[in-house]
Amino acid sequence: MVKKKGFWIGVVLVALLIVGGYFAYNQFYQPTQVVAEEAPLQTAVSRLGDITISATGAGTVVAASEVALTFPTAGVLETLNVRVGEDVAAGDVLATLRDTDAQQALANAQLQLQQAAFATDPTATEAGVSLSDISVEQARLSLEVAQSALDDLLNWEPDADEIAKAEADLAAANASFSAAAGSESASSNSVTIQQINLDQAQRSLEDAQAAYNTAYDVGREWEFGIKRMAEALEDERDAADRNLLKAQENLQIAQANLNSAASGVNYSSSASARSNVLNAEQALAAAQTGPEADEIETAEIAVRQAELALQQALINQQTDALSLAEAQLSLEAAEQTVTDTILTAPMTGTIMSIAANVGENVSTSEFITLADLETPLLEVYLDESDMNMVGLDYAVEVVFDALPDETFAGVVVQVDPQLVNESGITAVRALVQLNSFAKPQTLPVGMNATVEVIGGQATNAVIVPVEALRELSPDEYAVFVMENGEPKLRMVEVGIMDFSFAQILSGLEAGEEVTTGIVQTQ
């Protein structure tokens, strides 16, 4: 048993009285007077022995760990593979729910994922390219074509060879036209005269066109840098514009006059020749003047439309990627739903309880309780006054109520940092693990035992009766050692002690005689 506070207060008070009285006697009375009769001092001999201090508590077998297993979703119990008391290993399938709907949802999710993959995952197609990639590439190519056409218009420059060819084509067309007109109306002076006028108008147009080309020659742009020359060039260009327009109008008038003069004559051949002339004129004008504003505007609109089409294709590609991610999440959720219909053991242990049978509806509340009973573990309660007697790794002796003739050894593996109230008594709660339990069966949960926690133990140690100790201050002790028949005070280091004996760690050897006061000790 362990020492109690009230007992030690009394021991300390007695020790102080003895020490004080003994010193007072030596200092004041012994030199001056003779004692008629002295009280005999009681002594004891220090010796080697064993000493153990412990605290007793009540213990109950508990599972090393216990988990309540539930299905994440409610359903009908399809299979039950275990029974109460059966041992299972981690990963064993304990029970399953009916999964028809879950399997159907999984199949649908797999199909949706495959469809989404075709749109955006190149690895999902035999061609190695996704539909969204094709759309983006097509839009990109269309933009490049439109941009190239616009660039050609914006960067247009007169081509002398092209102009020369157009002029030659126009001359040939005019010659063909003249030949056709001459053969068809050789006898018609009016047609001849009008043709001459047409030719003159054509030459005037050519002269005007040449003057126009000279005025708008890009090599003369530098003249705009000199004010005088810039004004002259502007005037020259204005005149060229007017003369060209006038020559074109005169040509049209001459052509109209010719048409009027040739009315009633068969102009089938000349009409075709005239059409060729007009085409040649248009080609020459295009070669000389370049693209018009509306043509450039149309090309710019085409570029903008191609840019928007590319942006739309890119947005669709991103949308397809999101759809693929969503389909992947849906598949994972469907797979988890199927997994949730299977209940597996998270650890090795013993089935403690089962809450339903096959065919019954199972909710998400506790269904199976699984506990680890392989490691014998006891829940122990000690009186709070014995708190200093229990700590981690302290040795324990256990006697079960059902096995009173056997003592089992164990060790403290946990001490709660907070006191508990058990049956109205404040107590220390600890967990004890048995070193071994050599029985064919495991210890039943709830089995009661008496537990002795070894707070301290010393073997073959120097021990003295507790009455021999003189506590001079907290945790500082001395003893009176008999030397030549006289008691001499000596400091000692004290280890553990019970109600009867104390362990001396240093300051005293076995066989030395110490005083125990005036009370005889055993």
- Give tens-digit pLDDT for 61-70: 998 888 999 9
For residue 306, the SS3 value is helix
- Give tens-digit pLDDT for 139-164: 999 999 989 988 888 888 787 777 88
Identify the band that residue 109 occupies on the pLDDT scale cut at 50, 70 and 90: very high
Average pLDDT over residues 463-485: 92
Domain ranges of the chain: 5-53+457-517, 58-65+372-455, 69-97+341-369, 109-151+299-334, 157-290
Topology classification of domain 58-65+372-455: Elongation Factor Tu (Ef-tu); domain 3 (2.40.30)
pLDDT at 391: 86
Measured distance CA(117)–CA(326) in Å, rounded = 11
Average pLDDT over residues 119-124: 75
Strand pairing report for 448-465 and 501-506: antiparallel
User: In this model, does residue 19 exceed pLDDT 60?
Assistant: no
User: In this model, does residue 454 exceed pLDDT 90?
Assistant: no
- Give tens-digit pLDDT for 409-423: 899 999 999 999 877
For residue 102, the SS3 value is helix
Strand pairing report for 361-362 and 368-372: unpaired
User: For the ranges 17-21, 128-132, 336-340, which has the lowest average pLDDT?
Assistant: 17-21
Average pLDDT over residues 41-48: 92
Q: Is there a shared CATH topology between the 5-53+457-517 domain and the 58-65+372-455 domain? A: no
Q: Which amino acid is at 41?
A: L
* Tokens describing residue 275: 């059409």
- Give tens-digit pLDDT for 326-346: 989 999 999 998 998 999 999
Identify the band that residue 441 occupies on the pLDDT scale cut at 50, 70 and 90: low
Average pLDDT over residues 391-415: 90
Q: What is the 3-state composition of the chain as percent helix, strand, coil, each rounded to the nearest 5?
A: 45, 30, 25
Neighbouring residues of 312: CB distance < 8 A, sequence distance ≥ 6 = 139
483 strand-pairing partners: 486
Topology classification of domain 69-97+341-369: OB fold (Dihydrolipoamide Acetyltransferase, E2P) (2.40.50)
Neighbouring residues of 90: CB distance < 8 A, sequence distance ≥ 6 = 345, 346, 347, 348
Do 391 and 56 touch, CB atoms closer than 8 A? no
pLDDT at 343: 93
Q: Considering the chain, what is the average pLDDT of its residues?
A: 82
Q: What is the DSSP string of 439-458?
A: SSSPPPTT-EEEEEEEEEEE
First to last CA, the chain: 18
Average pLDDT over residues 452-473: 90
* Tokens describing residue 404: 């009173």
- Phi and psi at 262, nearest 5°, equal -90, 5
Measured distance CA(309)–CA(322) in Å, rounded = 20
Topology classification of domain 5-53+457-517: 2.40.420
User: In this model, does residue 186 exceed pLDDT 80?
Assistant: no
Strand pairing report for 47-62 and 377-383: antiparallel
